[in-house]
Structure formats: structure tokens, C-alpha cells
Amino acid sequence: MATVSAANKENASPSPSPTVSDPARVLLFLMTDSFRTGGSERQFSVLAKNLSPQQFQVHLGCIRRMGPFAQDFGEVPEFWLGGSLYGWQSWRTRWRLSRRLRQRQIQIAHAFDFYTNLALIPAARFARVPVVIGSHRQLGDLLTPRQFRAQLAAFRWCDAVICNSRAAADRLEAEGLSHDKLFVIGNALPVEAFVAAPPALPRRNGVLRVGMVARMNWRYKNHSGFLRIAQRIHQQMPDVEVEFLLAGDGPLRAELESEAQRLGIGERVLFLGDRRDIPAVLASLDVAVLTSDSESLSNVILEAMAAQLPVVAYCVGGNAELVNEERGALIDAGDEQAFAAAVERLLASPSLRAQLGRNARQFAEENFHLESIRARYEQCYQTLLEKKGVRTRLATWRPTAEAQRNG
């Protein structure tokens, strides 16, 4: 079981585990599905690296040790479930995970996504971990009905479920999960998200750029809608040179490249592939957009705001908790004509872009800066430990319990 130590956060080398009787640090186990470049994986990485090493000894686990973020943490142990969540292999894995939690005398077990919810929550309960936490980082509409029911059943075993948006929490409460069990803690923006970066693509006089950052793995990200909107803008603004950037990669890329050609905008659309330099990509843009059909709380929107960009997005899920007319434009889901018009309005006015971008950055810094989000997690952990009668020496910012739940 890998740990994140104060001396070596980046490599996450194992260190001796203190016993439960050591009141100086809480023994916390965080588990992720993988280390890919998705939003949940990025938030897992940020939290694992930045929790106070004086207050927490962080142990890590994963289902599959794959993806670019894996190199930041060293040899994180895998707990592979096999081909089925309900097969013999998956139950053997849960038993092995449970035994490891007991051996390390873990005090808090926190699952970070769907598959780890179904793996870690029962394992932690079997191991009698004092505090067991699940995560709901999507709306649930991307799960099958069977998957949603299975996860909801697992959540009933938890002491708390952390949601990254009010929209996600409302969905669980509507399905009967106790309001008192739900905590809303938004996504964290690391310090570097607010640091001005040199543009990945040098600026060109007279050229405006509209871009979206999204993996090309799932159709709900609606890259095709982005391309159709790009075609509308190209047709409506023939005298303005506009480039359209797509950052991200995946199995849909070849299809999307062909679609751009069919729409007659192949030369206007730049496919940047998978990028680790997102601030530099955002520094290359004038307007950031998100055409996704489903979002809980979008990292992409938050990162664009931190980069002082106005954002245009559809009114789905938690997008309304981030975007409004003071920071960009929120468009009725599926209305591509209105979406294109909103982008055109921003492209036509440098002063409007600048004002909305400043508002966006201020909003992101006040509400989603790493320091405040980390404090919310640490306070959530402390609150739950105290509720179970586990005494700690944690000293963190203390909002009211209701403020914690409502984010």
C-alpha cells in the first residue's frame, strides 16, 4: 500500500505506518480507479498530494495502475476486480483489500469514483474502518440503472458521500439517501492553474481561438456538437479568422477529424491530442467552451475561469453552479444556434471578453482555490472522526456542518 509522505510527495514512496494510538496523524486510505487524465483522476491526484502531511498519513490504492498520473505516485498497489463487479475475483479482491486496511489500521477509507465505491466501501466495512466515505462525481445519468442502484446501495453503507456539485447531491437525495450523509465539496484548483502560462500555440495577429478540453472517449462530451457550432461560427463570421482547438485524445478522434473535413472546417480545427500543459493550452484561447451533455462539476470550466477566460456551456448538471452571464454564457441544452451566437458575441468584443474573464477568475479563486477545498476535505474528515469518537489533533478551518453539506 503506497503512502504519500511529507518528504517525498511526488514519488509517494512507502513510509512506516503509525498505529491508531498515534494521535499526531490520521491514517487515511484514498482509492482511485486509475491514473488517466479524466476529471476524477486529476482531483484524486491533487488531493493525495496536498493533504497536510503533519495531519494525515495518506495511503493509496487503485484498481488499475495505468495513465500518466501513475508516475507521480510510484508503485501504488492494484486491487483488480476482474471482469465483473460481482464475480469470484472481485470478492477475493475485496477480501484482500479489507485485510490490508485492517493491517494498516486505517481510520478513514475514501473511495473516489464508481468502481472504487463498489470495491472499497464493502471492504472497509468488513475491516471495521471507523469512517467510510464514498464519492459521487457525476450526475448518475451515465450509469446504467443497475449500476446506479448498486452504487446507491453501497452509499447506504457509508458514513458520508462527498459530491462535487449540488446537482449531484440533489440526485442522490431525490433517490432517498439521507441529506445528513451528503457533503458538497467542489473541485480544487491548484496554485499553478492561476499562474499565467506562455501559450502552447503562439498568438497570431488577427486570429481568434475558441477551444474545448475533453477526452475523446465518450460521446456525451459532444465533440460533434462542438464541430457543428464551429461550422456555424465560421459561416456567420466570414471576415474573421477563427481557429477551433480540441485538446484531448481517444478512440473517437479519427471519426471527429473526418467529421471536421465533411463540415468543411478541417483547416480551421486543430486537434492537439492529449495534453498535460492545460494552462498553456488555455492561454492560447480567447473563448473556452464546453458542449458536454452531462457534467457534475467541470474541471475544464474551472481551469478556464482560472485562466481568465469567459466560458460558454450548456445548462446541464452543475454547470449552472459555475457559469452565468457575468462569467460567460449558459445555453439551454442542445440549442446549437444560441450557443454559436453567444460565442460570436464574445469574439466580437475584446472588452466584454476581458471583463467576463476577470469575473471568472475572481469567482474561481474565491470558491475553488486548492487551499479552501483542502480545508473543506480536512474538516469533513475531522467532523466524521469526531462523530465516531476518534480523537485527533487536526487543526483546520471549521465551517458549520450545514455549510459543509451545502458546499
Comparing CA positions, the residue from 355, 360, 356 lying closest to residue 189 is: 360
Residues 181 and 284 in one domain: no
The DSSP code for 163 is E
Q: Quick one: residue 363, left, alpha or beta (phi over 0 = left, psi -120 to 50 = alpha)?
A: alpha
Give me the chain's average pLDDT, please.
91
30, 34, 36, 40 alpha-carbon torsion, rounded to 10°: -40
pLDDT (tens digit, 9 = 90+) per residue, 69-99?
899 999 999 999 998 888 999 999 999 999 9
Cell of 378: 480536512
Q: How confident is the model at residue 395 (pLDDT cuts 50, 70, 90)?
A: low
Residues 172 and 49 in one domain: yes
Cell of 29: 486510505
Answer whether residue 6 shows pLDDT above 70: no
> In this predicted structure, what is the pLDDT of residue 141?
93
The DSSP code for 63 is S
Strand 241-247 and strand 207-213: the pairing is parallel
Residues 36 and 157 in one domain: yes
Residues 173 and 226 in one domain: no
Residues 202 and 335 in one domain: yes
Dist. CA 97–CA 95, nearest whole Å: 5
Determine the average pLDDT of the residues in 48-57. 95
Q: Quick one: residue 74, left, alpha or beta (phi over 0 = left, psi -120 to 50 = alpha)?
A: left
Dist. CA 284–CA 278, nearest whole Å: 10
Number of domains in the chain: 2
Burial of 258 (0-12, 13-18, 19+ CB in 10 A): exposed
Q: How confident is the model at residue 38 (pLDDT cuts 50, 70, 90)?
A: confident
Whole-number percent of the chain with pLDDT over 90: 86
Residues 362 and 373 in one domain: no
Does residue 148 or residue 405 have the better pLDDT?
148
> In this predicted structure, what is the pLDDT of residue 5?
39
pLDDT (tens digit, 9 = 90+) per residue, 236-276?
999 999 999 999 999 999 999 999 999 999 999 999 999 98
Least confident of 7-11, 63-67, 267-271, 295-299: 7-11
Q: Which domain holds residue 254?
A: 192-367
pLDDT (tens digit, 9 = 90+) per residue, 289-323?
999 999 999 999 999 999 999 999 999 999 999 99
Residues 387 and 268 in one domain: no
Residues 165 and 238 in one domain: no
Dist. CA 121–CA 129, nearest whole Å: 10
Element (H, E) at 178: none
Residues 362 and 400 in one domain: no
pLDDT (tens digit, 9 = 90+) per residue, 158-173?
999 999 999 999 999 9
> Sheet holding 241-247: strands in order across?
269-273, 241-247, 207-213, 287-290, 311-314, 328-331
Determine the average pLDDT of the residues in 388-401. 61
Determine the average pLDDT of the residues in 278-297. 97
Residues 253 and 137 in one domain: no
Answer whether residue 398 shows pLDDT above 90: no
Dist. CA 142–CA 147, nearest whole Å: 9
Question: Among all chains, which residue has been given the C-alpha cell 473556452?
Answer: 288
pLDDT (tens digit, 9 = 90+) per residue, 184-220?
999 999 999 999 999 999 999 999 999 999 999 999 9
> In this predicted structure, what is the pLDDT of residue 143?
95
Strand 2-4 and strand 182-184: the pairing is unpaired
Residues 218 and 113 in one domain: no
Give the CATH number, domain containing residue 363.
3.40.50.2000
Answer whether residue 399 shows pLDDT above 90: no
Burial of 46 (0-12, 13-18, 19+ CB in 10 A): buried
161: helix, strand or coil: strand
> In this predicted structure, what is the pLDDT of residue 385?
97
Residues 311 and 226 in one domain: yes
Strand 207-213 and strand 182-184: the pairing is unpaired
> In this predicted structure, what is the pLDDT of residue 401?
45
pLDDT (tens digit, 9 = 90+) per residue, 330-388?
999 999 999 999 999 999 999 999 999 999 999 999 999 999 999 999 999 999 999 99
